Amino acid sequence: MKFYWLFRKDLQSELRTRYAINALGMFIVVTISVILFSIGQEKITQNLSGGLFWVVVFFSAMSGLSRAFVSEEERGTVLTLQLMSDPNTVLGGKLLFNIVLVFSMNIFIALLYSALFDVFVIKNLPMFLLAFVLGNLGIGISSTLIAAIIAKANTKGTLYPVLSFPILLPLFLTLIEITKKAMEGVPFDEGFIEIATLVSYDVVMVAAGFMLFDLVWKE
C-alpha cells in the first residue's frame, strides 16, 4: 500500500498548486474551440467527429501528463524518492496519479465534446464506455512510461509527443475504429477484436513498464 501514499502526496501537491489541472482544462477548451472555429458553419460527418474526439484527447494528454516525473526532476526531489522507496512503488504511485488525471480529463472532454457537437452520438453506449475505460488505462500507462524517460533528457517538452506518438498509435487507431463502430451501433460481438486488442495492449504495457522502470529510474 506504500504506493498509495505516494499517490496521496502527488495529489496533495497537485491540489495545492493546481498546475496540471488548470493547464489541462485550458488546453482542452482551446483545442476544442480551435476545432470549432476551423469547422465554422460546415457540417461534419459522424465518423469525422469520432476521430476528432481522440485528436482532442491525444493533444490534451501530451500537454499535461509528463508532469508526473518532470516535476520531481525540476524540484530536485528524485534522490529523496530513490532513497525512500523502491522503483515499483514509485511507478505504482505515479501510474495511479496519471490514470486518475487521464480519467478526469477524458470525462471532462467527453462531456464538453458531446455538448458542443451534435453529430457525436453514440448508439452502442456500453461498448464505447468499455473501450473508453480501457483506452484511458492504456494512455495513462504509456504516458507514464514515456514521462519517466523524458524526465532524464534535456528538451523535455518537445520530446514528449515525439516519443509518445509511435507508442500510442496502435491504441489510438483501435480506439478510433471502435468509436466508429459504437457510433454506428453495431452489436457487441463485432467489436470484440478491438476490445481484445485494447486489453492486450494494456496488459503488455503494464508488464513492460514494471520490468523496465527500475533501469530508467536508477539512471
Partner 1 sequence: MKKDLIWKAAIYLIMSMVIVAGIAFPIVEKPSAWYEFPLIMGLGENAKIIFFHVPSSWLTVIAYLMAMVYGVKYLRKKNLEDDMKSYAAIQLGSIFCILATVTGSVWAKFAWGSFWHWDPRETSIFALLLIYGALFALRSAIENDEKRATLSAVYSIIAFITVPFFIFIMPRIMTGLHPGSADDSNAGPVVNFKMNANMQVVFYVSLAVFTMLYFWMWKLGSSALILNEKVKKLKYRS
Interface residue list for partner 1 (CB under 8 A): 145-146, 149, 152-155, 159, 162-163, 165-167, 169-170, 173-174, 177, 193-194, 197, 201, 204-205, 208, 212, 215-216, 219
Least CB distance to partner 1 at residue 218 (A): 9
Least CB distance to partner 1 at residue 206 (A): 11
Least CB distance to partner 1 at residue 15 (A): 31
Least CB distance to partner 1 at residue 8 (A): 28
Cell of 188: 457487441
- Write the burial class of residue 200 (CB in 10 Å: 0-12 exposed, 13-18 middle, 19+ buried): exposed
Closest CB to partner 1 among residues 25, 161: 161
Closest CB to partner 1 among residues 28, 183: 183
Of residues 135, 106, 137, the one with CA closest to residue 31: 106
Least CB distance to partner 1 at residue 110 (A): 23
d(CA 50, CA 69): 31
Q: CA angle, corner 166, sides to 106 and 55, nearest 5?
A: 35
Of residues 183, 93, 66, 95, the one with CA closest to residue 131: 183
Closest CB to partner 1 among residues 26, 203: 203
Least CB distance to partner 1 at residue 178 (A): 9
d(CA 21, CA 150): 20
Closest CB to partner 1 among residues 86, 118: 86
Closest CB to partner 1 among residues 47, 104: 47
Contacts of 198 (CB under 8 A, 6+ apart): 131, 134, 135, 138, 171, 174, 175, 178
Closest CB to partner 1 among residues 30, 204: 204
